[in-house]
């Protein structure tokens, strides 16, 4: 394992919004990661989400494959994905289930796949409720991020970025036992998230690591500890570009921990037609926009 990080803890319920925004800015500049406490997801409800996730992944493979991933929704088996394509390996040792936008009655909403109510009677309702609760937390966090960028707190709202956002829930299961292999094995190989922000719930089992200097060799990996009741939040590539690389989209990975590990990632991305261009508060004559779209 690597060195253990001490990441800032952001209290979403704090009434001192300017101080909170200042801490977020420092965390996003220094780490690209932080903890989010008092986010509105009750502990008992989160336990139920993990229980439902475990029940899904405990189903026979044949039953899970009836929900095989299509249009980025549904089930993906072990080794179906390799996030670091430079690796000479079979793939990442995890299985996952994707749930896309579930609000309204749009075509995108109707692409979701759900396990049968006979097999998992309360599964869909639990996941829909989790989706909505974390979406609300994410929107509240985005207003603080706007303040952290020296913008009006309703900047992204006025921009229309979250009028019809594109959030995804991704349930993840990493096995405890590893097959004997000469390959270097990762639960999730090194990558950065491509979107705006990610809110991650974990079950307390270690394994998540980050590399703050993604272009430096050799890479230095640091462990991210579990904090009871808190989400782990990280900045994605889209936000890094939006902020002219002020906020960092940090490399991260999951290494085998020798025991089963479950997590639930919530990826919050803006409307599909939202223009991502350098924010005025993040550029100047001295620091012109790094990414220009024509």
Residue-wise pLDDT for 149-206, tens only, equals 999 999 999 999 998 899 999 999 999 877 656 678 899 999 999 999 999 999 999 9
pLDDT score for 182? 63
Q: Considering the chain, what is the average pLDDT of its residues?
A: 93
- β pairing state of 168-174 and 95-99: antiparallel
pLDDT grade for 245, boundaries at 50, 70 and 90: very high
Name the E strands within 39-146.
Answer: 74-76, 95-99
- β pairing state of 208-211 and 251-254: antiparallel
User: Whole-angstrom Cα distance, residue 175 to residue 95?
Assistant: 9
pLDDT score for 88? 80
User: Whole-angstrom Cα distance, residue 157 to residue 142?
Assistant: 9
Q: Is the pTM of this model over 0.85?
A: yes
Two structure tokens written together for 185: 């094995």
Please give the average per-residue pLDDT across 135-147, as a whole number: 97
pLDDT score for 102? 85
Contact 27, 7 (CB under 8 A): yes
Contact 228, 242 (CB under 8 A): no
Architecture of the domain whose range is 3-282: Sandwich (2.60)
Give every strand in the sheet of 168-174, ordered side by side. 9-11, 33-37, 231-235, 197-202, 261-268, 168-174, 95-99, 74-76
Residue-wise pLDDT for 94-106, tens only, equals 999 999 998 654 4
Percent of the chain at pLDDT exceeding 70 = 95
């Amino acid at each position: 394992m690597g060195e253990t990080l001490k990441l800032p803890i952001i209290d979403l319920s704090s009434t001192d919004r300017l101080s909170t925004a200042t801490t977020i800015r420092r965390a996003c500049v220094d780490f690209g990661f932080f903890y989010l406490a008092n986010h509105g997801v009750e502990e008992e409800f989160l336990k139920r989400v993990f229980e439902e996730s475990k029940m899904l992944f405990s189903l026979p493979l044949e039953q899970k494959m009836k929900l095989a991933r299509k249009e980025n929704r549904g089930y993906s088996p072990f080794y179906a994905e390799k996030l670091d394509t430079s690796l000479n390996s079979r793939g990442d040792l995890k299985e996952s289930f994707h749930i896309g936008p579930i609000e309204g009655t749009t075509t995108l909403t109707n692409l979701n796949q759900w396990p049968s109510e006979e097999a998992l009677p309360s599964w869909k309702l639990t996941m829909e409720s989790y989706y909505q609760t974390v979406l609300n937390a994410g929107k509240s966090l985005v207003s603080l991020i706007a303040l952290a960028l020296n913008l009006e707190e309703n900047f992204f709202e006025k921009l229309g970025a979250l009028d019809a956002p594109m959030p995804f829930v991704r349930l993840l299961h990493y096995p405890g036992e590893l097959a004997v292999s000469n390959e270097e094995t990762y639960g999730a190989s090194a990558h950065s998230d491509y979107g705006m922000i990610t809110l991650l719930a974990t079950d307390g089992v270690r394994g998540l690591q980050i590399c703050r200097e993604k272009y430096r060799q050799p890479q230095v990996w640091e462990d991210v500890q579990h904090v009871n009741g808190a989400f782990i939040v990280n900045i994605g590539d889209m936000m890094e570009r939006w902020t002219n690389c002020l906020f960092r989209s940090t490399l991260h990975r999951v290494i085998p921990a020798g025991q089963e590990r479950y997590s639930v990632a919530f990826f919050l991305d803006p409307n599909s037609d939202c223009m991502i261009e350098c924010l005025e508060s993040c550029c100047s004559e001295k620091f012109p926009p790094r990414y220009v779209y024509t």
